[in-house]
Chain A
């Protein structure tokens, strides 16, 4: 599976541009999502993702033949996000500002996210399994919130239950998932702890 993701530049500019384009479409979603989750600003995220691809293109000749493109892109993007968050923290003089607080935690969380995302495929599989094994009613709420991006209030209205119930179910879902996935999350966190 993983080998399928190995797209390599061949050194011929015309061919490489095609390779570049396919890499772009392959990894855009993942990288943009990474930025958006931790930075929260679409325009900034777009900039960072574009820059990541441009950096990849500019450095393509220096890549070793067996380089995992996805890992490189992930690392470049993660670092740019960290830089951005750090600079924002410096720029936000008012430390009581909610964005300052949020960014501080986002920075810390992102900093501890794995430095190589080799486990992504495996992790994704595990996540899908874990979600599938959630109790029916809890899974329903969870999917509405995460996949359909509905607000708790909207979910409550749709299901005819109270917001408190939705909150409780989400909390349950997250703790079940965290328990199911703790080995994987542990790996991801341990890797970064070892490297930082």
Chain B
């Protein structure tokens, strides 16, 4: 058996090797792999600097749990817990479709469930899409650009006095005046949240009446049902944390958090006690490959218990107790 543990082995050689690994050779490989681990164990030393950094991050997560400032939402008792966790960036991917529609130019970008998409416009403006988001950018013949959004997107637009850029989220229109802003407008959510990071934006209702102009650091929260707009000061970092691969829930009901987790991890979440659905939480958790670490975080911060039932033939099930 050639030594597959040689670091100079090429991809093709490795592939050959692994594809033909059977019987006694397979057995030998596995024993060697484990032997290799044991042999190198005693010499395993990693830089102190690396250890220190990672330890600091553990300490931050465990001991420096930070509370987000309160905003009263309904009159229920509201529990807050913010777990600020360092991000692992989930590689997002992007699907783009182009098609022409008469006089207007259409450009559709989509981020599927479980991924983040990113696109750049011709002038260098940048747009990020959160999971399960669809953005239709229509450029009218008169140069006006309207972006129809279902989901959540972050806009980093190059200032341009000539251009008229509006985000249409159904109930309201957000008009850009050279800015960085985040819009959270999933059609199934009751509220539309627009957060301004830099520059200036104006929000209009469908009949074209100006509702508000935002200043940086402010979030406009619009309730679709009550048609009420509230302006609150917000943590700008939290509003954008999703771009770094974090799951961000600000003043969200457990029901809507569960809904989002279902989207990300393709699981079915049930509530044993339906009242839990209306409990409100804030938390930021790193997005991980499996749902378990996220549920563990929720378990601690939201003081819930859960059970994970794995299925082969259908989606895994999570029961929140």
Name A residues whose Cβ lies closer than 8 Å to a Cβ of B.
17, 21, 24-25, 28-30, 32-34, 37-38, 43, 46-47, 49-51, 53-54, 57-58, 83-84, 87-88, 91, 96, 98, 101-102, 104-106, 108-109, 112-113, 120, 123-124, 127-128, 131, 145-147, 149, 151-153, 167, 170-171, 174, 177-178, 181, 185, 188-189
Contacts and interface: CB of A to CB of B under 8 A. Distances in A.
Contacts of A88: 289
Interface residues of B, number: 46
B229 to A, nearest CB: 40
B246 to A, nearest CB: 13
Given A32-B44, A189-B31, A177 B39 contact: yes
Give the top 4 A-B pairs by smallest Cβ distance, nearest first.
A101-B18, A33-B44, A109-B33, A98-B15
Given A146-B43, A147-B43, A177-B39, A51 B293 contact: yes
Nearest to B11: A98
A33 B7 contact: no
Interface string B43-59: 11110000100110110
Contact of B6 (A53, A87, A152, A181): A152
Given A32-B44, A50-B58, A112 B1 contact: no
Judged by DSSP, the binding face of B is: helix
Contacts of A102: 14, 18
Contacts of B29: 105, 109
B97 interface: no
Nearest to B43: A147
Interface string B271-303: 000000000000000001110010010001000
Contact of A29 (B7, B46, B88): B46
Contact of B88 (A33, A47, A127, A185): A47
Contact of A58 (B7, B8, B43, B300): B300
A105 B88 contact: no
Nearest to B32: A174
B3 A171 contact: yes
B35 A174 contact: yes
Interface string B1-44: 11100111001001100110100001001111111111111111
A64 to B, nearest CB: 21
Given A33-B44, A108-B30, A178-B32, A153 B58 contact: no
B236 to A, nearest CB: 26
B54 A50 contact: yes
Contacts of A17: 63
B46 A28 contact: yes
Contacts of A34: 37
Contacts of A188: 34, 38
20 contacts: A24-B55, A28-B51, A33-B37, A33-B40, A33-B44, A54-B58, A54-B62, A98-B15, A105-B26, A105-B33, A109-B30, A127-B41, A127-B42, A145-B6, A147-B43, A153-B8, A167-B2, A167-B3, A185-B34, A189-B34
A177 B35 contact: yes
B40 A146 contact: yes
Contacts of B58: 24, 50, 53-54
Contacts of B31: 178, 185, 189
A51 B30 CA distance: 27
A193 to B, nearest CB: 12
Contacts of B6: 145, 151-152, 167, 170
A50 to B, nearest CB: 5
B35 A181 contact: yes
B48 to A, nearest CB: 9
Contacts of B42: 124, 127-128
A101 B3 contact: no
